[in-house]
C-alpha cells in the first residue's frame, strides 16, 4: 500500500519536473541558468573590487586604508539580506536621482544587473580579505630578491607576486564562489527569478512543495560538486612547480 503510494508519488513528481509544459523542468533550469549568470558576474565584480581593495589596504595611504577597513567591516557585520535591500533600493534611487538632475529618465535595472552589482559589492569585501591574506603570504625574500635584481614594479607583480599569491588565494576564492552561488538564493526575496524563486513559484502553483524543493536542492548540489571539481583543477594548476605542502602528519 505504502509502496504503491510512493511509486504513484514518484511518477507524478517526474511529471511535474518534465521539461516541457505542464512540467516545470525548463523553468527550473532557466532559473539555474540565471543563478549561474549572476554568480559569475558577481564573482568577477567581487574579484575586481577585491584586487583593488587588497592593494589599497596593503600599499595605499592611511585614509584609503581606513576607508577600506570601514567597507570590509560593514559588509562583514551586516547580513547580506539587509545589504541587498539597502543597495538595491538606495543605489537605484541615488542613481536615478543623479540621472534626473541631468535630465535623463530613470534607468531600468534588469534583475540580473541589480543582482550582480549587489552581490558583487558584498563579495568585494570578502575577496579583499582573501587576496590581502594571499599577498601577505608571499615570502618577502622573493620580493626583495626581485627588487634587488632591478625588476620594475609591474614586472615584479606579474612574475613574482601574482603567481605565488594565486596558489595561496585559490582555496579562499573557491569558498567565495560557493558562497556567491548560494547567496543568489537571497535574490528570491526581492522577487528576482533565479533558481530558488523559480522553485518557490512552481511549488506554490502546484502545491508540490517537497518535490520542487528537493529537485532544487539536487540542482544546487550538482552545481557545488561541479564547482568543487573545477576548483580542484585550478588549485593543482596554481600550485604547479611548488613543493608539496602538507606533508609530515603525525
Total residue length of the chain: 250
C-alpha cell at 109: 535595472
Closest CB 96 distance from other proteins, rounded Å: 6
Question: CB-wise, 145 or 222, nearer to other proteins?
Answer: 222
Closest CB 238 distance from other proteins, rounded Å: 21
Residues that bind other proteins (CB under 8 A): 20-24, 26-27, 30, 62-63, 66-67, 74, 76-83, 85-86, 89-90, 92-93, 96, 102-106, 108-109, 178, 182-186, 188-191, 193, 196-197, 199-205, 207-210, 213-214, 216-217, 220-221, 223-225, 249-250
Question: CB-wise, 132 or 161, nearer to other proteins?
Answer: 132
Closest CB 51 distance from other proteins, rounded Å: 22
Question: CB-wise, 174 or 238, nearer to other proteins?
Answer: 174
Distance CA(74)–CA(56), nearest Å, equals: 17
CB contact at 8 A, 130 and 50? yes
Distance CA(212)–CA(84), nearest Å, equals: 25
C-alpha cell at 1: 500500500
Question: CB-wise, 3 or 149, nearer to other proteins?
Answer: 3
14, 17, 25, 112 from 215: Cα distances, Å? 10, 8, 9, 23
191 Rama class: left (phi>0) / alpha (psi -120 to 50) / beta: left
Closest CB 232 distance from other proteins, rounded Å: 14
Closest CB 218 distance from other proteins, rounded Å: 9
130, 174, 177, 242, 249 from 246: Cα distances, Å? 20, 19, 24, 12, 8
Closest CB 66 distance from other proteins, rounded Å: 6
Question: CB-wise, 5 or 154, nearer to other proteins?
Answer: 5
Closest CB 185 distance from other proteins, rounded Å: 4
Distance CA(157)–CA(105), nearest Å, equals: 43
Distance CA(187)–CA(85), nearest Å, equals: 9
> Alpha helices, DSSP H only, in the chain?
2-16, 25-59, 62-77, 80-86, 92-101, 111-136, 140-148, 153-156, 162-183, 195-206, 209-238
Question: CB-wise, 245 or 250, nearer to other proteins?
Answer: 250
Question: CB-wise, 4 or 240, nearer to other proteins?
Answer: 4
Amino acid at each position: 500500500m505504502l509502496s504503491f503510494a510512493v511509486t504513484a508519488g514518484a511518477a507524478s513528481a517526474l511529471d511535474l519536473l518534465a521539461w516541457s509544459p505542464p512540467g516545470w523542468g525548463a523553468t527550473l533550469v532557466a532559473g539555474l541558468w540565471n543563478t549561474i549568470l549572476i554568480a559569475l558576474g558577481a564573482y568577477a565584480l567581487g574579484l575586481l573590487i577585491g584586487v583593488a581593495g587588497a592593494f589599497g589596504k596593503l600599499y595605499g595611504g592611511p585614509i584609503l586604508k581606513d576607508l577600506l577597513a570601514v567597507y570590509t567591516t560593514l559588509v562583514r557585520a551586516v547580513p547580506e539580506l539587509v545589504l541587498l535591500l539597502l543597495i538595491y533600493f538606495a543605489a537605484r534611487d541615488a542613481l536615478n536621482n543623479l540621472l534626473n538632475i541631468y535630465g535623463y529618465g530613470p534607468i531600468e535595472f534588469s534583475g540580473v544587473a541589480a543582482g550582480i552589482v549587489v552581490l558583487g559589492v558584498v563579495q568585494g569585501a570578502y575577496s579583499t580579505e582573501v587576496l590581502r591574506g594571499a599577498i601577505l603570504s608571499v615570502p618577502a625574500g622573493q620580493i626583495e630578491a626581485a627588487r634587488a635584481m632591478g625588476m620594475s614594479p609591474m614586472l615584479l607583480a606579474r612574475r613574482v607576486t601574482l603567481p605565488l599569491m594565486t596558489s595561496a588565494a585559490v582555496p579562499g576564492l573557491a569558498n567565495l564562489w560557493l558562497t556567491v552561488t548560494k547567496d543568489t538564493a537571497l535574490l528570491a526575496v526581492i522577487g528576482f527569478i533565479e533558481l530558488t524563486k523559480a522553485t518557490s513559484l512552481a511549488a506554490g502553483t502546484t502545491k508540490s512543495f517537497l518535490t520542487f524543493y528537493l529537485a532544487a536542492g539536487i540542482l544546487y548540489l550538482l552545481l557545488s560538486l561541479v564547482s568543487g571539481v573545477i576548483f580542484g583543477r585550478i588549485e593543482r594548476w596554481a600550485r604547479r612547480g611548488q613543493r608539496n605542502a602538507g606533508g609530515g602528519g603525525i
